[in-house]
Amino acid sequence: MLNWFKKNKYPDFWKEYLLHFKEKQPTALKDIRFVIFDTETTGLNITDDRILSIGAVAVKNNIIDIADSFEMYLKQNKFDASTVEIHGILKEGNIVKVDEEFAVKEFLKFIKNSVLVAHHAAFDIAMINEALKRIGLPKLKNRSVDTGVIFKMTELHKNGNMHYGLDELCKIFAIKQHDRHTASGDAYITALIFLKILSNLSKRRKVLIGDLFVSPERRGLL
């Protein structure tokens, strides 16, 4: 009875999101819709800081689909001048901003049951999960891939203790850094890196989707 009540207290958009996970999931990499995403935030504290913007783009069959993309700027009460300087996101201005609940709702509609990909994914996913928690919802159900982790599976990884940021991987893969430190720009750069990593890994053997998943122990903040 209690479980029934819990299931029915959630809003329709959450129930619609959950329905996607009842669909049969493809297993071949070429058939899987990956959503590469990034969040820009007011800081690095999962509980106290807030999301400034979310950017995402879909990848399927080794193609970045710019037409299948997502970008939202969030209204925020917290304002850190140093954060704005880094991210280029102004508290005021002509950018249309939405409230957190609307942004999260639209993000769920966009990602559906796709596999999420992010660089140092634990942080971005934890920020989304914290936003979900603030509106009384459970955590994301999507499987996730961390480009920072799977890069270490490639032959290009030389130092076991090396921490690879986006800037370092852009240099390694000779990727130009357009719109760096914007959510959409970083999502696109991460998508390019993701495809480069897959290409490198596939030179040695066939890459299976299970090879890419981050174990719960490696997720850290989740």
Q: Which CATH number characterizes residue 60's domain?
A: 3.30.420.10
Of 118, 145, 122, nearest to 29 (Cα)?
145
Asked, for residue 142, whether it belongs to a domain, the answer is yes
CA separation for the pair 204, 222 (Å, rounded) = 31
Q: Which pLDDT belongs to residue 79?
A: 58
% pLDDT > 70, the chain: 82
- CB count, 10 Å around CB of 2? 6
Asked, for residue 9, whether it belongs to a domain, the answer is no
Q: Which pLDDT belongs to residue 156?
A: 84
Cβ-contact 112, 16 below 8 angstroms: no
Comparison of pLDDT for 83 and 155, the residue scoring more: 155
E strand or H helix at 195: helix 183-202
Residues sharing a CB contact under 8 Å with residue 61, sequence separation 6 or more, in sequence order = 30, 31
Asked, for residue 25, whether it belongs to a domain, the answer is no
* 6-17 average pLDDT score: 87
Q: How is residue 167 written in tokens?
A: 């800037």
Asked, for residue 182, whether it belongs to a domain, the answer is yes
> What's the structural domain count of the chain?
1
% pLDDT > 90, the chain: 68
Asked, for residue 103, whether it belongs to a domain, the answer is yes
Q: Which pLDDT belongs to residue 84?
A: 55
Asked, for residue 155, whether it belongs to a domain, the answer is yes
Asked, for residue 118, whether it belongs to a domain, the answer is yes
Where residue 7 falls among pLDDT bands split at 50, 70, 90? low
Q: Which pLDDT belongs to residue 41?
A: 95
Where residue 26 falls among pLDDT bands split at 50, 70, 90? very high
* 26-32 average pLDDT score: 94
Q: Show the domain range for 95.
A: 31-219
Asked, for residue 183, whether it belongs to a domain, the answer is yes
* 81-104 average pLDDT score: 72
Q: State the average pLDDT for the chain.
A: 87
pLDDT at 82 over 60: no
Residues sharing a CB contact under 8 Å with residue 209, sequence separation 6 or more, in sequence order = 27, 28, 29, 32, 115
pLDDT at 31 over 70: yes
Where residue 108 falls among pLDDT bands split at 50, 70, 90? very high
Q: Which pLDDT belongs to residue 205?
A: 86
pLDDT at 27 over 60: yes
